[in-house]
Amino acid sequence: MLNKAVLACFLAMTALGCVDDNGETDANLRQALEEAGVEPLDPGNVLPMNDPKVVLGQTLFFDRALSGNEDISCATCHHPGFGSSDGLSLPVGVGGDGLGPGRELGEGRHFIPRNSPEIFNRGATAWTTMFWDNRVSGGVGNFYSPAGPELPWQLESVLAVQAMFPVTSAEEMRGSPGESEIAGLKTLPEVWGALTARLLYYDEYERLLDAAYPGTPIQDYRFFHMANAIAAFEVAAFTKKDTPFDAYVEGDDNALNSEQKRGAALFFGEANCSSCHNGPLLTDQQTHVLATPQLGPGKGEVKPLDIGRALETGADADMYAFRTPPLRNVELTSPYMHSGAYTTLREAIQHHLNPEATVMDYDVAQLSTSERSEPNR
């Protein structure tokens, strides 16, 4: 299934009837790829699945003990069975029931404000940002995050920094005050410390930690050890670059068929998709305003709106701006956009062609019955 990968986006454009039969030559297409900065993907440090750090990370990734109420895990919203996401427009966090598109809200709960991103190839060296609003960014020794100076310096990658935060979110994993001792904690270090203490209560975690970090005294374990391990597992499990597109970028002219090449020529040419979807990850990692339909409970003090990057910067220019998503394995990661507003690639592409019209004509009927209960337009 993964062998189709990013080609689905190109084929979707072809299906819109925008592409004629006079396809670009391989030479012209390769020149367009070069101009867009598309080169073979450097996957970064991909450890084997039996590496002790990866084994620890895998156990943590699927363990509900990382949540305040012990009712949700990382895998709930980033499941291998649902393209490393959850198949929902907006995720169902603490208090929910079930997995994937059938997961239901708990009584009195609300959806998490933004679509759960896929986590393919997140160990690639090209990654410098995380989250829809880029609130985590930078590189080793120079990370920026909502934690500010409280962020541990021992974090090994921008992906590991990202892993520090879902456990602190009341909607995602921590829970609301009064629901558990951890849910009632007020600061990020308090939450990280309490979760570490909880995990160390289990002999199995002490054994796994000792194997992953030999020679580290038990009293020296901190949550950054967990975050580094979770990131190591995500990289080991979800690095996927065995696609026809990868083979073409690496020099195999026969890896794409003529229809796919025509779609790619449009994508990297006249349609100008590559002005944002460029580089080896097919994202510029910048935030842009696309007038995507607003769905869900909203975020921050401006609820029920979600103003995107502006919540972090306060800048008018960042109002309603969200990061360009990567397109690798895109056919597996529906729904699309920061709000999960579109359930097919065709609809997502059509929105780009005429945002004003698609917003005005947006129909919530494409959402599941439970998701329709919180439309915000």
Contact yes or no for 162/130 (Cβ under 8 A): yes
Kindly list the distances between the CA atom of residue 349 and the CA atoms of 28, 289, 352, in Å, as whole numbers in the listed order. 24, 15, 5
Q: Which residue out of 171, 172, 371, 374 is catalytically annotated? A: 172
H/E run at residue 322: strand 321-323
Q: 244 with 254: CB under 8 angstroms?
A: no
- 172 a catalytic residue: yes
d(CA 1, CA 311): 37
Contact (Cβ atoms closer than 8 angstroms) between residue 371 and residue 294: no
**Residue 323 forms beta bridges with which residues?**
287
* Burial of 36 (C-beta count, 10 Å sphere; 0-12/13-18/19+): buried
Cα–Cα distances (Å) from 339 to 101, 120, 287, 307, in that order, read 15, 19, 14, 12
Which of 361, 370, 366 has its CA nearest to residue 335? 366
CA-to-CA distance for 116 and 89, rounded, in angstroms?
8
How far, in Å, CA of 295 to CA of 376, rounded? 5
143 DSSP β-pair partners = 138
Name the residues annotated as catalytic: 172
